[in-house]
Chain A
């Protein structure tokens, strides 16, 4: 059964069909939340909340790109989490050691450590960006969405996407240069 069939049945209240959509999109949703919130537990909570919201609002989905619609809901949930975090700054951010990648056989321990260090710096750099710029960068360069899809997710024009992406990348580049990840 393809997505449009699953969406049709979900609109009729079929939870099994909706859960098959969840399976298809949970990786994208979770990764967006993880890069936006930099905290695994918060990302899991946000992902679950996003799927609940989508289930409640599936009747409002008017066709088109379901992934963009799902990521838009996720982005809104993340914004709410970030707002709450701003209001309650005592809630601690998880240290950004989320990359539990195994070293591949051809990689030396030094290279592996360096790779993890770079990943950590990237995540810290992302976390230092204003949330809308971070969202644009994550959607474009980590999730691989087109400008048009990003505009749908962010609910803004292509010009705004271009500007947020440009500023976000430049700011991240400056952060990485400052941290010595690479030379200017």
Chain B
């Protein structure tokens, strides 16, 4: 009996799981009905079974030596990853607190009002004198609203932000390389 090529192709794809008894009842029935009438696929099944049988007969070879680890190697807990992860979290929390304190004006870095009676905060004499100069300019036609910040706050914020980014990136790289070393899967050559 002649079959359409697609029917034989479909059966061909199912022969390997059929040999392993990994087909569902319906698929198994379809394969068996096809095999009863298609000599080509029946031969294909027989040669596939013979191949699997030959593979089953391949003996397990004893290694010529032991692979026991004799020298002291780094202990499993020596990876820098846990320390780096903890350091990143601590630094990130510190950065968040820093921003929060800055936004609530805890460092007295908020806007300086030059309206009469308004609050004026300066973190140093230098800031005070600079602000004084600016206010003088303002009185002479320049801007009247100025801002001043504690000199150390912004550099500290940017520094910590940079630290979080660099440390976080390094932690991610360590984590990825650690995972890759153990569990990398490759799809290359996957025909």
B54/A176 in contact, CB under 8 A: yes
Known: A22-B68, A23-B66, A169-B16. A76 touches B52 (CB 8 A): no
B184/A76 in contact, CB under 8 A: yes
Cβ of B34 to closest chain A Cβ, rounded Å: 16
B54/A55 in contact, CB under 8 A: no
B189/A131 in contact, CB under 8 A: yes
- Is the CB of A58 closer than 8 A to any CB of chain B? yes
- Is the CB of A184 closer than 8 A to any CB of chain B? yes
- Is the CB of A114 closer than 8 A to any CB of chain B? no
Known: A27-B63, A57-B76, A132-B187. A170 touches B48 (CB 8 A): yes
With A130-B190, A162-B22, A167-B191 known, 17 other A-B pairs at CB within 8 A are A10-B76, A11-B76, A18-B69, A19-B69, A23-B68, A27-B60, A30-B61, A56-B74, A57-B181, A59-B77, A60-B178, A122-B58, A141-B56, A141-B58, A169-B48, A169-B51, A170-B12
Total cross-chain contacts (CB, 8 A): 145
- Is the CB of A156 closer than 8 A to any CB of chain B? yes
B47/A184 in contact, CB under 8 A: yes
Closest to B55 in A: A141
What sequence of 0s and 1s flags, for each residue 54-87 of chain B, a beta carbon within 8 Å of any chain A beta carbon?
Answer: 1110111111111111001111110100000000
Interface size class on chain A is 35 or more
A147–B56 Cα gap in the complex (Å)?
16
Chain B at the A interface: SS class: loop
Which residues of chain A are near B65, meaning CB under 8 Å? 44
Cβ of A52 to closest chain B Cβ, rounded Å: 6
Which residues of chain A are near B43, meaning CB under 8 Å? 184
Which residues of chain B are near A51, meaning CB under 8 Å? 67, 69
- Is the CB of B29 closer than 8 A to any CB of chain A? no
Known: A18-B69, A57-B76, A173-B47. A26 touches B63 (CB 8 A): yes
Chain A at the B interface: SS class: helix
B55/A56 in contact, CB under 8 A: no
Residues of chain B having any CB pair with chain A under 8 Å = 12-13, 15-17, 20, 22, 43, 47-48, 50-52, 54-56, 58-69, 72-77, 79, 178, 181-191
Which residues of chain A are near B75, meaning CB under 8 Å? 13
A6–B142 Cα gap in the complex (Å)?
78
Residues of chain A having any CB pair with chain B under 8 Å = 10-11, 13, 15, 18-19, 22-23, 26-31, 34-35, 40, 44, 47-48, 51-53, 55-60, 72-73, 76, 79, 98-99, 101, 118-119, 122, 130-133, 137, 140-142, 147, 154-156, 162, 164-167, 169-170, 172-173, 176-177, 181-182, 184
A48–B71 Cα gap in the complex (Å)?
12
A172–B48 Cα gap in the complex (Å)?
9
Checking B55, B63, B178, B184 against A79 with a beta-carbon cut-off of 8 angstroms, the contacting residue is: B184
A142/B67 in contact, CB under 8 A: no
Checking B16, B72, B185 against A162 with a beta-carbon cut-off of 8 angstroms, the contacting residue is: B16
Q: Which 7 A/B pairs are nearest by Cβ-Cβ distance? A: A141-B55, A166-B16, A130-B189, A155-B185, A59-B76, A30-B63, A19-B68
B76/A58 in contact, CB under 8 A: yes
A101/B186 in contact, CB under 8 A: no
Which residues of chain A are near B67, meaning CB under 8 Å? 22, 26, 29-30, 44, 47-48, 51
A38–B17 Cα gap in the complex (Å)?
27
